[in-house]
Protein backbone atom coordinates (compact mmCIF):
# COMPACT_ATOMS: atom_id res chain seq x y z
CA UNK A 1 0.00 0.00 0.00
CA UNK A 2 1.13 3.54 -0.73
CA UNK A 3 2.49 5.65 2.07
CA UNK A 4 -0.21 7.85 3.48
CA UNK A 5 0.26 11.61 3.20
CA UNK A 6 -1.09 14.10 5.68
CA UNK A 7 -3.64 16.58 4.32
CA UNK A 8 -1.02 19.35 4.49
CA UNK A 9 1.57 17.43 2.44
CA UNK A 10 -1.04 16.21 -0.02
CA UNK A 11 -2.51 19.72 -0.41
CA UNK A 12 0.94 21.14 -1.17
CA UNK A 13 1.67 18.43 -3.76
CA UNK A 14 -1.74 18.92 -5.42
CA UNK A 15 -1.42 22.73 -5.24
CA UNK A 16 -4.73 22.92 -3.44
CA UNK A 17 -5.57 24.30 -0.03
CA UNK A 18 -6.42 21.93 2.83
CA UNK A 19 -9.75 23.78 2.96
CA UNK A 20 -10.49 22.82 -0.68
CA UNK A 21 -9.67 19.17 0.14
CA UNK A 22 -12.03 19.22 3.12
CA UNK A 23 -14.77 20.63 0.85
CA UNK A 24 -14.10 17.96 -1.80
CA UNK A 25 -14.43 15.33 0.92
CA UNK A 26 -17.70 16.79 2.18
CA UNK A 27 -19.05 16.94 -1.40
CA UNK A 28 -18.00 13.34 -2.08
CA UNK A 29 -15.66 14.39 -4.91
CA UNK A 30 -12.42 13.10 -3.37
CA UNK A 31 -12.59 10.94 -0.27
CA UNK A 32 -9.46 10.60 1.91
CA UNK A 33 -7.82 7.15 1.90
CA UNK A 34 -8.10 7.12 5.68
CA UNK A 35 -9.60 9.28 8.39
CA UNK A 36 -8.11 8.90 11.86
CA UNK A 37 -11.03 7.80 14.03
CA UNK A 38 -9.69 9.66 17.06
CA UNK A 39 -8.31 12.93 15.70
CA UNK A 40 -10.41 13.14 12.49
CA UNK A 41 -7.22 13.92 10.51
CA UNK A 42 -7.50 13.09 6.81
CA UNK A 43 -4.81 11.08 4.98
CA UNK A 44 -4.36 10.60 1.23
CA UNK A 45 -2.28 8.35 -1.04
CA UNK A 46 0.07 9.78 -3.70
CA UNK A 47 -2.03 7.99 -6.32
CA UNK A 48 -4.93 10.32 -5.47
CA UNK A 49 -2.95 13.37 -6.64
CA UNK A 50 -4.09 13.05 -10.23
CA UNK A 51 -7.74 12.86 -9.24
CA UNK A 52 -7.34 15.87 -6.94
CA UNK A 53 -5.93 17.92 -9.84
CA UNK A 54 -8.73 16.72 -12.15
CA UNK A 55 -11.38 17.76 -9.62
CA UNK A 56 -9.75 21.20 -9.28
CA UNK A 57 -9.68 21.70 -13.06
CA UNK A 58 -13.29 20.59 -13.50
CA UNK A 59 -14.36 22.96 -10.72
CA UNK A 60 -12.68 25.78 -12.65
CA UNK A 61 -14.92 24.88 -15.64
CA UNK A 62 -17.96 25.34 -13.34
CA UNK A 63 -18.95 21.75 -14.02
CA UNK A 64 -21.77 20.71 -11.67
CA UNK A 65 -20.66 18.55 -8.74
CA UNK A 66 -22.72 15.51 -9.73
CA UNK A 67 -21.10 15.56 -13.16
CA UNK A 68 -17.58 15.91 -11.68
CA UNK A 69 -18.27 12.85 -9.55
CA UNK A 70 -19.27 10.95 -12.69
CA UNK A 71 -16.21 12.07 -14.69
CA UNK A 72 -13.92 10.91 -11.86
CA UNK A 73 -15.26 7.36 -12.21
CA UNK A 74 -14.49 7.18 -15.98
CA UNK A 75 -11.34 6.08 -17.78
CA UNK A 76 -9.41 8.82 -19.60
CA UNK A 77 -11.03 8.49 -23.08
CA UNK A 78 -14.55 8.39 -21.62
CA UNK A 79 -13.73 11.33 -19.32
CA UNK A 80 -12.45 13.29 -22.34
CA UNK A 81 -15.73 12.64 -24.19
CA UNK A 82 -17.73 13.76 -21.17
CA UNK A 83 -15.74 17.02 -20.82
CA UNK A 84 -16.17 17.68 -24.56
CA UNK A 85 -19.94 17.11 -24.32
CA UNK A 86 -20.17 19.37 -21.26
CA UNK A 87 -18.28 22.17 -22.98
CA UNK A 88 -20.36 21.90 -26.19
CA UNK A 89 -23.45 22.42 -24.04
CA UNK A 90 -21.87 25.44 -22.29
CA UNK A 91 -21.05 27.00 -25.67
CA UNK A 92 -24.57 26.37 -26.99
CA UNK A 93 -26.09 27.96 -23.86
CA UNK A 94 -23.70 30.90 -24.11
CA UNK A 95 -24.59 31.46 -27.78
CA UNK A 96 -28.29 31.59 -26.92
CA UNK A 97 -27.62 34.07 -24.09
CA UNK A 98 -25.36 36.16 -26.34
CA UNK A 99 -28.22 36.55 -28.84
CA UNK A 100 -30.58 37.60 -26.08
CA UNK A 101 -28.02 40.06 -24.64
CA UNK A 102 -27.41 41.57 -28.10
CA UNK A 103 -31.13 42.01 -28.55
CA UNK A 104 -31.53 43.64 -25.13
CA UNK A 105 -28.63 46.05 -25.74
CA UNK A 106 -30.14 47.00 -29.06
CA UNK A 107 -33.63 47.29 -27.65
CA UNK A 108 -32.57 49.40 -24.64
CA UNK A 109 -30.27 51.73 -26.55
CA UNK A 110 -32.41 52.33 -29.66
CA UNK A 111 -35.41 54.60 -30.04
CA UNK A 112 -38.80 52.96 -29.75
CA UNK A 113 -39.31 51.33 -33.14
CA UNK A 114 -42.67 51.28 -34.78
CA UNK A 115 -43.52 48.08 -36.58
CA UNK A 116 -44.05 49.86 -39.84
CA UNK A 117 -42.20 47.91 -42.54
CA UNK A 118 -39.41 50.10 -43.81
CA UNK A 119 -39.18 52.13 -40.59
CA UNK A 120 -35.95 54.11 -40.39
CA UNK A 121 -33.13 52.29 -38.61
CA UNK A 122 -29.94 54.22 -37.96
CA UNK A 123 -31.00 56.61 -40.69
CA UNK A 124 -31.34 53.85 -43.27
CA UNK A 125 -34.61 52.65 -44.68
CA UNK A 126 -34.64 49.04 -45.74
CA UNK A 127 -36.96 46.78 -47.66
CA UNK A 128 -36.91 43.15 -48.70
CA UNK A 129 -37.35 41.54 -52.07
CA UNK A 130 -38.17 37.85 -51.93
CA UNK A 131 -39.17 34.77 -53.87
CA UNK A 132 -40.55 31.37 -52.89
CA UNK A 133 -40.74 27.97 -54.54
CA UNK A 134 -41.75 24.49 -53.38
CA UNK A 135 -41.42 21.29 -55.37
CA UNK A 136 -42.48 17.67 -54.96
CA UNK A 137 -39.14 16.35 -56.24
CA UNK A 138 -38.48 13.25 -58.32
CA UNK A 139 -39.56 10.46 -55.98
CA UNK A 140 -42.39 11.40 -53.58
CA UNK A 141 -46.01 11.09 -54.65
CA UNK A 142 -47.09 14.33 -52.97
CA UNK A 143 -45.65 17.51 -51.50
CA UNK A 144 -45.86 17.82 -47.69
CA UNK A 145 -43.70 20.96 -47.61
CA UNK A 146 -45.28 24.38 -47.39
CA UNK A 147 -43.50 27.64 -48.10
CA UNK A 148 -44.60 31.25 -47.97
CA UNK A 149 -43.15 34.67 -48.69
CA UNK A 150 -45.44 37.60 -47.94
CA UNK A 151 -44.85 41.27 -47.27
CA UNK A 152 -43.49 40.61 -43.77
CA UNK A 153 -43.49 36.86 -43.24
CA UNK A 154 -41.11 34.30 -44.73
CA UNK A 155 -41.67 30.67 -43.81
CA UNK A 156 -40.80 27.11 -44.69
CA UNK A 157 -42.46 24.06 -43.07
CA UNK A 158 -41.79 20.41 -43.79
CA UNK A 159 -44.71 18.17 -42.85
CA UNK A 160 -44.42 14.50 -41.97
CA UNK A 161 -46.72 11.60 -41.20
CA UNK A 162 -50.27 11.09 -42.44
CA UNK A 163 -51.67 14.55 -43.16
CA UNK A 164 -48.21 16.10 -42.98
CA UNK A 165 -49.23 18.46 -45.80
CA UNK A 166 -52.05 19.79 -43.60
CA UNK A 167 -49.69 20.19 -40.64
CA UNK A 168 -47.14 22.25 -42.59
CA UNK A 169 -49.87 24.45 -44.09
CA UNK A 170 -51.58 24.91 -40.70
CA UNK A 171 -48.32 25.95 -39.03
CA UNK A 172 -47.65 28.68 -41.58
CA UNK A 173 -51.29 29.84 -41.59
CA UNK A 174 -51.08 30.32 -37.82
CA UNK A 175 -48.24 32.84 -38.31
CA UNK A 176 -49.94 34.87 -41.04
CA UNK A 177 -51.92 37.18 -38.68
CA UNK A 178 -48.51 38.60 -37.64
CA UNK A 179 -48.25 40.22 -41.06
CA UNK A 180 -51.02 42.67 -40.27
CA UNK A 181 -50.84 42.99 -36.46
CA UNK A 182 -49.26 46.12 -35.02
CA UNK A 183 -46.69 44.79 -32.58
CA UNK A 184 -44.75 47.06 -30.18
CA UNK A 185 -41.00 46.48 -30.60
CA UNK A 186 -40.50 45.13 -27.09
CA UNK A 187 -43.29 42.59 -27.57
CA UNK A 188 -42.10 41.16 -30.84
CA UNK A 189 -40.66 37.94 -29.43
CA UNK A 190 -43.73 37.44 -27.23
CA UNK A 191 -46.04 37.93 -30.21
CA UNK A 192 -44.03 35.43 -32.18
CA UNK A 193 -44.03 32.97 -29.29
CA UNK A 194 -47.84 33.26 -29.08
CA UNK A 195 -48.11 32.69 -32.83
CA UNK A 196 -45.96 29.57 -32.58
CA UNK A 197 -48.17 28.27 -29.76
CA UNK A 198 -51.13 28.83 -32.08
CA UNK A 199 -49.25 26.92 -34.78
CA UNK A 200 -48.59 24.06 -32.35
CA UNK A 201 -52.26 23.89 -31.35
CA UNK A 202 -53.35 24.01 -35.00
CA UNK A 203 -51.13 21.00 -35.72
CA UNK A 204 -52.43 19.18 -32.63
CA UNK A 205 -56.00 19.84 -33.72
CA UNK A 206 -55.38 17.85 -36.89
CA UNK A 207 -56.57 14.31 -36.68
CA UNK A 208 -53.40 12.26 -36.57
CA UNK A 209 -50.98 12.03 -33.64
CA UNK A 210 -48.26 10.84 -35.98
CA UNK A 211 -48.42 13.96 -38.11
CA UNK A 212 -46.26 16.98 -37.53
CA UNK A 213 -44.11 19.61 -39.14
CA UNK A 214 -40.92 21.58 -38.89
CA UNK A 215 -41.21 25.36 -38.98
CA UNK A 216 -38.55 27.92 -39.82
CA UNK A 217 -39.91 31.43 -40.24
CA UNK A 218 -38.79 35.05 -40.20
CA UNK A 219 -40.93 38.06 -39.46
CA UNK A 220 -39.68 41.29 -41.02
CA UNK A 221 -40.26 44.43 -38.95
CA UNK A 222 -38.52 46.97 -41.14
CA UNK A 223 -35.27 46.93 -39.23
CA UNK A 224 -35.09 43.48 -37.71
CA UNK A 225 -35.94 39.92 -38.53
CA UNK A 226 -37.47 37.85 -35.77
CA UNK A 227 -36.64 34.22 -36.29
CA UNK A 228 -38.57 31.19 -35.10
CA UNK A 229 -37.27 27.71 -35.68
CA UNK A 230 -38.13 24.14 -34.77
CA UNK A 231 -36.98 20.99 -36.57
CA UNK A 232 -34.46 20.54 -39.37
CA UNK A 233 -35.49 23.09 -41.95
CA UNK A 234 -32.81 25.79 -42.07
CA UNK A 235 -32.11 29.49 -42.35
CA UNK A 236 -28.88 30.71 -43.93
CA UNK A 237 -27.45 34.21 -44.12
CA UNK A 238 -25.19 35.37 -46.93
CA UNK A 239 -23.35 38.47 -45.67
CA UNK A 240 -20.17 40.05 -47.03
CA UNK A 241 -19.54 36.94 -49.12
CA UNK A 242 -19.75 34.55 -46.14
CA UNK A 243 -22.53 31.96 -45.90
CA UNK A 244 -23.71 31.18 -42.36
CA UNK A 245 -26.30 28.67 -41.18
CA UNK A 246 -28.17 30.69 -38.53
CA UNK A 247 -30.45 27.93 -37.28
CA UNK A 248 -29.56 24.80 -35.40
CA UNK A 249 -30.94 21.42 -36.57
CA UNK A 250 -33.08 19.76 -33.90
CA UNK A 251 -32.02 16.29 -34.96
CA UNK A 252 -30.59 13.28 -33.19
CA UNK A 253 -27.43 13.30 -35.34
CA UNK A 254 -26.76 17.00 -34.69
CA UNK A 255 -26.89 16.39 -30.94
CA UNK A 256 -24.47 13.48 -31.42
CA UNK A 257 -22.08 15.86 -33.25
CA UNK A 258 -22.30 18.34 -30.38
CA UNK A 259 -21.55 15.64 -27.87
CA UNK A 260 -18.45 14.73 -29.89
CA UNK A 261 -19.78 11.24 -30.62
CA UNK A 262 -19.74 11.54 -34.44
CA UNK A 263 -18.17 13.98 -36.90
CA UNK A 264 -20.13 16.48 -39.01
CA UNK A 265 -19.24 14.46 -42.12
CA UNK A 266 -20.63 11.29 -40.52
CA UNK A 267 -23.79 13.19 -39.56
CA UNK A 268 -24.33 14.41 -43.13
CA UNK A 269 -24.43 10.84 -44.47
CA UNK A 270 -26.05 9.21 -41.43
CA UNK A 271 -29.03 6.96 -42.35
CA UNK A 272 -31.03 8.43 -39.44
CA UNK A 273 -30.09 12.03 -40.17
CA UNK A 274 -33.69 13.21 -40.49
CA UNK A 275 -34.76 11.83 -37.10
CA UNK A 276 -36.10 14.92 -35.32
CA UNK A 277 -35.67 15.72 -31.65
CA UNK A 278 -38.11 18.59 -31.83
CA UNK A 279 -41.02 19.48 -34.12
CA UNK A 280 -44.58 20.78 -33.98
CA UNK A 281 -46.37 17.48 -33.77
CA UNK A 282 -49.76 15.99 -33.07
CA UNK A 283 -48.81 14.25 -29.85
CA UNK A 284 -46.68 16.73 -27.92
CA UNK A 285 -45.76 20.36 -27.54
CA UNK A 286 -42.10 21.27 -27.98
CA UNK A 287 -40.26 24.53 -27.58
CA UNK A 288 -39.03 26.50 -30.56
CA UNK A 289 -35.91 28.62 -30.84
CA UNK A 290 -36.84 32.30 -30.96
CA UNK A 291 -34.49 35.20 -31.58
CA UNK A 292 -34.11 38.59 -33.12
CA UNK A 293 -31.67 39.13 -35.90
CA UNK A 294 -30.30 42.53 -36.90
CA UNK A 295 -30.33 42.96 -40.66
CA UNK A 296 -28.09 44.97 -42.95
CA UNK A 297 -28.60 46.21 -46.47
CA UNK A 298 -26.98 43.64 -48.74
CA UNK A 299 -27.94 40.64 -46.59
CA UNK A 300 -29.45 37.69 -48.42
CA UNK A 301 -31.47 35.11 -46.44
CA UNK A 302 -32.35 31.60 -47.49
CA UNK A 303 -34.95 29.48 -45.71
CA UNK A 304 -35.16 25.91 -46.94
CA UNK A 305 -36.46 22.46 -46.10
CA UNK A 306 -34.06 19.52 -45.69
CA UNK A 307 -35.03 18.32 -49.17
CA UNK A 308 -32.89 21.21 -50.41
CA UNK A 309 -30.11 21.40 -47.79
CA UNK A 310 -29.53 17.63 -47.82
CA UNK A 311 -29.53 17.31 -51.62
CA UNK A 312 -27.63 20.38 -52.76
CA UNK A 313 -23.97 20.37 -51.67
CA UNK A 314 -22.85 23.48 -49.77
CA UNK A 315 -20.45 24.72 -52.52
CA UNK A 316 -23.31 24.62 -55.06
CA UNK A 317 -25.65 26.37 -52.61
CA UNK A 318 -23.01 29.05 -52.09
CA UNK A 319 -22.36 29.39 -55.84
CA UNK A 320 -26.02 29.99 -56.69
CA UNK A 321 -26.56 32.38 -53.77
CA UNK A 322 -23.47 34.45 -54.59
CA UNK A 323 -23.72 34.58 -58.39
CA UNK A 324 -27.44 34.80 -59.20
CA UNK A 325 -28.91 38.24 -58.57
CA UNK A 326 -32.67 37.82 -58.94
CA UNK A 327 -34.33 35.95 -56.01
CA UNK A 328 -36.89 34.43 -58.41
CA UNK A 329 -34.08 32.95 -60.43
CA UNK A 330 -32.22 31.82 -57.28
CA UNK A 331 -35.17 29.75 -56.01
CA UNK A 332 -35.64 28.17 -59.45
CA UNK A 333 -31.96 27.27 -59.72
CA UNK A 334 -31.81 25.84 -56.19
CA UNK A 335 -34.86 23.61 -56.70
CA UNK A 336 -33.45 22.50 -60.08
CA UNK A 337 -30.17 21.61 -58.33
CA UNK A 338 -32.05 19.51 -55.73
CA UNK A 339 -33.84 17.66 -58.53
CA UNK A 340 -30.60 17.10 -60.46
CA UNK A 341 -29.10 15.62 -57.27
CA UNK A 342 -31.90 13.05 -57.12
CA UNK A 343 -34.88 14.98 -55.75
CA UNK A 344 -35.54 12.25 -53.20
CA UNK A 345 -37.52 14.57 -50.90
CA UNK A 346 -39.85 17.52 -51.29
CA UNK A 347 -37.76 20.68 -51.52
CA UNK A 348 -38.74 24.24 -50.66
CA UNK A 349 -36.98 27.56 -50.35
CA UNK A 350 -37.52 31.23 -49.72
CA UNK A 351 -34.86 33.75 -50.69
CA UNK A 352 -35.02 37.31 -49.36
CA UNK A 353 -32.67 40.20 -50.19
CA UNK A 354 -32.41 43.22 -47.88
CA UNK A 355 -32.20 46.38 -49.97
CA UNK A 356 -32.05 50.11 -49.29
CA UNK A 357 -35.55 51.57 -49.44
CA UNK A 358 -36.44 53.22 -52.74
CA UNK A 359 -37.34 56.86 -52.24
MG1 LIG B 1 -38.08 16.98 -45.90
Confidence of residue 124 (pLDDT cuts 50, 70, 90): low
The rounded percent of the chain whose pLDDT value lies above 90 is 46
What are the distances in angstroms from CA 27 to CA 12, 22, 24, 69, 143?
20, 9, 5, 9, 57
Rounded average pLDDT over 52-64: 88
How far, in Å, is the centroid of ligand 1 from the Cα of 310? 9
How far, in Å, is the centroid of ligand 1 from the Cα of 14? 54
How far, in Å, is the centroid of ligand 1 from the Cα of 145? 7
Under a CB-based contact definition with an 8 Å cutoff, are residues 294 and 106 in contact? yes
How far, in Å, is the centroid of ligand 1 from the Cα of 333? 18
How far, in Å, is the centroid of ligand 1 from the Cα of 89? 27
User: Which of 174 and 124 is assigned the larger pLDDT?
Assistant: 174
CA distance 114 to 123: 14
How far, in Å, is the centroid of ligand 1 from the Cα of 200? 19
Under a CB-based contact definition with an 8 Å cutoff, are residues 212 and 187 in contact? no
How far, in Å, is the centroid of ligand 1 from the Cα of 233? 8
Under a CB-based contact definition with an 8 Å cutoff, are residues 349 and 132 in contact? yes
What are the distances in angstroms from CA 282 to CA 95, 108, 159, 228?
30, 39, 11, 19
How far, in Å, is the centroid of ligand 1 from the Cα of 251? 13
How far, in Å, is the centroid of ligand 1 from the Cα of 347? 7
Q: Does pTM top 0.75 for this prediction?
A: no
Buried b (16+ CB within 10 A) or exposed e, 146-180: bbbbbebbbbbbbbbbbbbbbbbbbbbbbbeebee
CA distance 283 to 297: 41
* 140: exposed, middle or buried (Cβ count in 10 Å: 0-12, 13-18, 19+): middle
- Closest to 280 in 3D by CA, of 143, 168, 175: 168
How far, in Å, is the centroid of ligand 1 from the Cα of 165? 11
pLDDT score at 118: 44
How far, in Å, is the centroid of ligand 1 from the Cα of 159? 7
How far, in Å, is the centroid of ligand 1 from the Cα of 21? 54
pLDDT score at 359: 54
How far, in Å, is the centroid of ligand 1 from the Cα of 309? 9
125-137, pLDDT tens digit by residue? 788 899 999 999 9
Cα-only R_g, the chain: 26
How far, in Å, is the centroid of ligand 1 from the Cα of 93? 27
Residue 213 zone, left/alpha/beta (φ > 0; ψ -120 to 50; rest):
beta
How far, in Å, is the centroid of ligand 1 from the Cα of 178? 25
pLDDT score at 42: 93
How far, in Å, is the centroid of ligand 1 from the Cα of 337? 15
How far, in Å, is the centroid of ligand 1 from the Cα of 249? 13
Under a CB-based contact definition with an 8 Å cutoff, are residues 260 and 85 in contact? yes
Confidence of residue 121 (pLDDT cuts 50, 70, 90): very low
CA distance 231 to 278: 5
How far, in Å, is the centroid of ligand 1 from the Cα of 305? 6
238-248, pLDDT tens digit by residue? 998 889 999 98
How far, in Å, is the centroid of ligand 1 from the Cα of 334? 15
Collect contacts of 268-274 with beta carbons under 8 A, ≥24 apart. 268/310, 273/310, 274/232, 274/306, 274/310
Q: CB 32: neighbour CB atoms within 10 A?
A: 20
Contacts of 101 (CB under 8 A, 6+ apart): none
233-286, pLDDT tens digit by residue? 999 999 988 899 999 898 888 888 877 778 888 888 888 887 888 899 876 667
pLDDT score at 307: 96
Q: Residues whose CB is under 5 A from ligand 1 (ion)? A: 158, 305-307, 345
Amino acid sequence: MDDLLTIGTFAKAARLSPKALRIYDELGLLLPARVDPVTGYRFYTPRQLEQARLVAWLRRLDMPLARIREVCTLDAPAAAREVRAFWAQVEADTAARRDLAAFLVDHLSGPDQSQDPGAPQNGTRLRIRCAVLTDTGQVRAGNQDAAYAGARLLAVADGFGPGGDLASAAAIDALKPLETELIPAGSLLNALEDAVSRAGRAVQDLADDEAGTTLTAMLWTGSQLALVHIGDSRAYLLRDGGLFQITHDHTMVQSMVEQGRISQAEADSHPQRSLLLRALSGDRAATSDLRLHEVRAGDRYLLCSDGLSAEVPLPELRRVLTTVADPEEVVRELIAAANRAGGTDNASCVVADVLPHQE
